[in-house]
Amino acid sequence: MRLEGLLAIAGIIVAVYAIAQPVQRRSIMLFVPVWIVAVALLLSVGILVWRKGVEAFGYEFYPWSDFASTVTAFFLPVIAAFIAIFLWSKAKLTKRKNKKFYDFIMSCLRENRFDELVRIVEKNENQLSSVLESATLDLLFEQRFVLAMSHARTWLHLRLLTCEEMLKRLPNLVKVIDAVVRALVAEPSSPLYAIVASAYGAEERPFCTDSDWELVTKTLQNPAWYISVRADYPLLMIACELLDSGKLDDAYNRNDELYIARQGLSTRAKCPIFLALKTHVLMLEEAVKKEGDTDYYVSDLYDLFRTICEHSVYNDNVWEGPNANREFPTPFAFLMSETLSDFFFLCDHRYSHGTRPPRRIGHDLVSTWAICFIWLAESKGNVSTDSKIRRIISYMDFALQLRQAYVHETRDESRKGNCKAWSELCTNQVKEKLGPATEVREILLEAANRLDVCKNYVSENQKWLRDELGLPDRPKVSN
C-alpha cells in the first residue's frame, strides 16, 4: 500500500461523513470518538513514511517485513472503521454523553427526522432515566416527537412511562402525560381505541398486537399507574375541549343510528368523547377489584356528563320523530345514558350484587351517580322528561334490589350488613344532594310512581324508599 492509497481511504471516510444528513453526522459524533480514526490514519502514515525513509538511507526490507508493513498500513484504518461502525451500532449512552445527546435531540427536532433518535432510545430504553439529566428526559417527550411516533404506530413514549424511575425524574410530568395521551387519542389506530372498541364497540375488531395490548393494560388500565400520573386529566380535557368547541353540537343532536349501533360498525368507536368515558370506566373496573382508600377521581365522570348534558338540545322532532330511537335518540343522549349505565354496572356487577361493602370507591360511585341524575333532572331543554324519569328509575331499582337482599338475607350476616349499607348509601346520597327545587321532586315522585310494582323487590320496599326520600305514598288506582 502506498501513500496515495491511504489518502484514498481517508477521502472515502471524509466523503461518507460529508454526505450524511446533519442528524446522522451528530449521531456519529455522539458515539464514535474522533481519535480512533485519526490515530489509525496517523499510524498508517507513519508506517508508510518510515518505509520510504528507510529506503532513502539505502536500507532494504526483507520480503516478509515489506509485506507486513504494507498490510499493517492498510488494515489500521479499516479496523478503525469497523470499530467506529460497532460503536455507532451499539449506540450506548452514558452520563458523559448527556450534553451531546441533548444537542442531538435538538437537531432531530430542527430537521424533523426521528428514525435515528428512535434507534438510540430503543437501544438504551432500560437505562435512560439513570444516565440522562432531567432536561434531556423532558426533551424526549417533545410533542412533535410524540406525535410523529404515534402516527407511525410506535408507542415508544407510553412504554418509557412504565418505568417508575422515569416518572420520578421527569421535571414536568403533567405536560408529558398530556402530550402522550393526546397523541394516543389523536391516532385512530392507537391500541387505546382498539381496547375500548373491543369492550364497548359494536362488532369492530381493530388490530392490536399482544405487546400493545399488554402496554395499555400496564398503564391506562392499571389504576395505580393511571392515578399516579393523573392520566384522567388530559382525557377529560380533550373531551371537554372538543365538546365546548361546539364542533359536535349539530351532528350529535341529530338521529344517528350508526353511532348507537350494537351490530356492524359503529362511528362511536372513533369518538374521542366515548373513548375518554370508557377509558376511565375500564380503569375503574380494575380499581373496584382492588378496592382501597385511593381517590380514583370518579367525579371526572360527572364533569364529562355535565358537559355533555349542557350541549344536548331537546328537539321534539328529533327525540319523538318517526325515525328516532326512543332510548337513544341522539349521540349525546347515548353518551349520557352510557355514563349512568356504567355507574349501575360498576356498583352492581363489580361489587357482586352487594356482597362487598361500598368503602371509598363504592361511596364515590354512588355519590357521583346521584349527582349526575339530579343534575339531569334539574336541566331544562337538554333532554326529554321521559328520559330523566327512566334514568332515575334505574337508580331506584338498584337501591330497592339491595334493600330486598337485606330484608330477606338470613344466612350470611356479612352480606346482610353490606346490602343495608349500600341501600342506605343510595338514599342518603339523594337526600344530601337534593335541593329545594320543586321540579326535581316532582320528577322523583313520577319515577317512583312508574316503578314496576309487579316485581317483588319493588312492591315490598317501595314504601321504605318513599319514606327515605320524603315522597308521598303511591296513589291508589281508582276502580
What would the grid cell of residue 160 be?
418509557
Amino acid type, 371: I
Reply yes or no on whether the pLDDT at 35 is more than 90: no
Q: What is the pLDDT of residue 293?
A: 77
- What percentage of the chain has pLDDT greater than the value 90? 49
**Residues 452-476 as b or e (16 or more Cβ within 10 Å = b):** eeeeebbeebbebbbebbebeeeee
Q: What confidence tier does 350 reach under pLDDT thresholds 50, 70, 90? A: low
What average pLDDT score do residues 13-32 get?
Answer: 74
- In tens, the pLDDT along 51-102 reads 666 565 555 555 556 667 677 777 777 788 888 889 889 999 999 999 999 9
Q: What is the pLDDT of residue 393?
A: 93
**Residues 188-201 as b or e (16 or more Cβ within 10 Å = b):** eebbbbbbbbeebb
Cβ 68 vs Cβ 102: under 8 Å: no
Q: What is the pLDDT of residue 49?
A: 66
Q: What is the pLDDT of residue 32?
A: 83
Q: What confidence tier does 205 reach under pLDDT thresholds 50, 70, 90? A: low
What average pLDDT score do residues 419-447 get?
Answer: 86
Q: What confidence tier does 418 reach under pLDDT thresholds 50, 70, 90? A: confident
Cβ 190 vs Cβ 184: under 8 Å: yes
- In tens, the pLDDT along 137-163 reads 999 999 999 999 998 888 999 999 999
What average pLDDT score do residues 14-34 get?
Answer: 75
- Average pLDDT over the chain, rounded to an integer: 85
Query: Cell 440522562 identifies what position?
Result: 132
More confident residue, 334 or 19: 334
Residue 278's SS3 state is helix
- What percentage of the chain has pLDDT greater than the value 70? 87
- In tens, the pLDDT along 272-326 reads 999 999 999 999 988 888 777 788 999 999 999 999 999 999 999 999 888 888 8
Residue 86, class by beta-carbon neighbours within 10 Å (0-12 exposed, 13-18 middle, 19+ buried)?
exposed
Q: What is the pLDDT of residue 132?
A: 93
Distance CA 203, CA 262 (A): 7
Reply yes or no on whether the pLDDT at 125 is more than 60: yes
Of 247, 292, 302, 287, the C-alpha closest to 271 is: 247
Q: What is the pLDDT of residue 7?
A: 63
Question: 11-15, 29-33, 243-247: lowest mean pLDDT where?
Answer: 11-15
pTM of the model: 0.85
What would the grid cell of residue 196 be?
375500548
Distance CA 373, CA 447 (A): 12
Query: Cell 472515502 identifies what position?
Result: 12
411-418: which pairs have CB atoms within 8 A and are 24 or more residues apart? 415/354, 415/355, 417/357, 418/354, 418/355, 418/356, 418/357, 418/358
Distance CA 375, CA 309 (A): 9
Amino acid type, 265: L
Output phi, psi for 361, to 5 deg: -70, -35
